[in-house]
């Protein structure tokens, strides 16, 4: 018998700690977790819903995409922000968009924002044990006026006046809570949203890139701007917003082509 056999030096390496393929009904955890974060926010005003989000997508300690789009178009009067795992958010919001379109064809009118939020929460609740990571804000205008809902992957569905989601949300709340009110004028509301995302990106390592600013009003959503967050934080480029019907049509076509 060889010496290495006696000393046990030629033992086979141990196999994986989990069986592969896993037995039916077993939840398999990934061998390591990837850190990710973002900053998305929205708040209601008497003139509509103001939506803002950064554009940095991260994968662990790497920036995978500095100019991603985290505001998803569901229809002409409804937007959704994405926070969590990008693949999960894209898949479930695409499913929601298809479901809303089918309901519109069956009923002859667009579903309300509350109906869309409850539908998404119902769909996610059935997969709450599948390790999904979806946190979205549904921002729209319906027969009740401006509406804002927060939906999480465990089926949580909340209505409110102001929400911020992501790793930079505590910093964004510190700015919003001090200046937000329902009767904010348009220019002040747009400036507040930009400053909140800019402050969050300055403090949060996983937020950055640019800030996308949207406004949902009775005639539909408008893509107002995309600005560099470093300039927004330092206040180098104050923006004056003028909302017109022809500008709305132009921005809607351009942004839809990017979606």
Within a domain: 230: yes
CATH code of 254's domain: 3.60.20.10
Q: Which residues are catalytic?
A: 38
Please report, in tens digits, the pLDDT of each residue of the chain (259 residues total). 455 555 555 565 555 554 455 566 666 565 545 556 899 999 999 999 999 999 998 877 778 888 899 999 999 999 999 998 888 999 999 999 999 999 999 988 889 999 999 999 999 998 887 888 899 999 999 999 999 999 999 999 999 999 999 999 999 999 999 899 999 999 999 999 999 999 999 998 888 899 999 999 999 999 999 999 888 888 755 555 555 444 444 444 444 433 3
Q: 66 φ, ψ to 5°?
A: -80, -10
The count of domains in the chain is 1
Measured CA to CA in angstroms, residue 36 lies from 57, 93, 138, 208 at distances of 8, 19, 21, 12
Within a domain: 239: yes
d(CA 245, CA 30) in angstroms, rounded, equals 49
Within a domain: 201: yes
Q: Which of 153, 181, 150 is nearest to 44 (CA)?
A: 181
202 in helix, strand or coil? helix
Within a domain: 14: no
Domain range spanning residue 198?
36-258
Within a domain: 27: no
Do 55 and 197 meet the contact criterion of CB atoms below 8 Å apart?
no
Within a domain: 17: no
Within a domain: 26: no
């Amino acid at each position: 018998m060889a010496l290495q056999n006696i000393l046990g030096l030629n033992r086979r390496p141990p196999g994986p700690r989990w069986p592969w393929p896993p037995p039916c009904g077993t939840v398999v955890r990934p061998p390591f977790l990837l850190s990710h974060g973002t900053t998305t926010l929205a708040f209601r005003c008497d003139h509509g819903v103001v939506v803002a989000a950064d554009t940095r997508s991260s994968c662990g300690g790497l920036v995978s995409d500095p100019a991603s789009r985290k505001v998803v178009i569901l229809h002409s009067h409804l937007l959704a922000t994405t926070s969590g795992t990008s693949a999960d958010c894209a898949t479930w919001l695409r499913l929601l968009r298809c479901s809303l379109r089918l309901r519109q064809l069956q009923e002859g009118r667009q579903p309300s924002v509350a109906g869309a939020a409850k539908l998404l929460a119902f769909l996610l609740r059935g997969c709450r044990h599948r390790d999904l990571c979806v946190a979205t804000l549904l921002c729209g205008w319906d027969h009740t006026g401006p509406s804002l809902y927060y939906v999480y992957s465990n089926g949580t569905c909340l209505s409110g006046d102001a929400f911020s989601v992501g790793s930079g949300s505590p910093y964004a709340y510190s700015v919003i809570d001090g200046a937000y009110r329902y009767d904010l004028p348009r220019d002040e509301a747009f400036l507040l949203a930009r400053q909140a995302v800019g402050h969050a990106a300055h403090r949060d390592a996983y937020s950055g890139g640019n800030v996308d600013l949207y406004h949902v009003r009775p005639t539909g959503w408008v893509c107002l701007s995309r600005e560099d967050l470093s300039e927004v934080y330092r206040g180098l480029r104050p923006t004056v917003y003028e909302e017109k019907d022809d500008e709305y049509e132009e921005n809607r076509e351009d942004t839809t082509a990017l979606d």
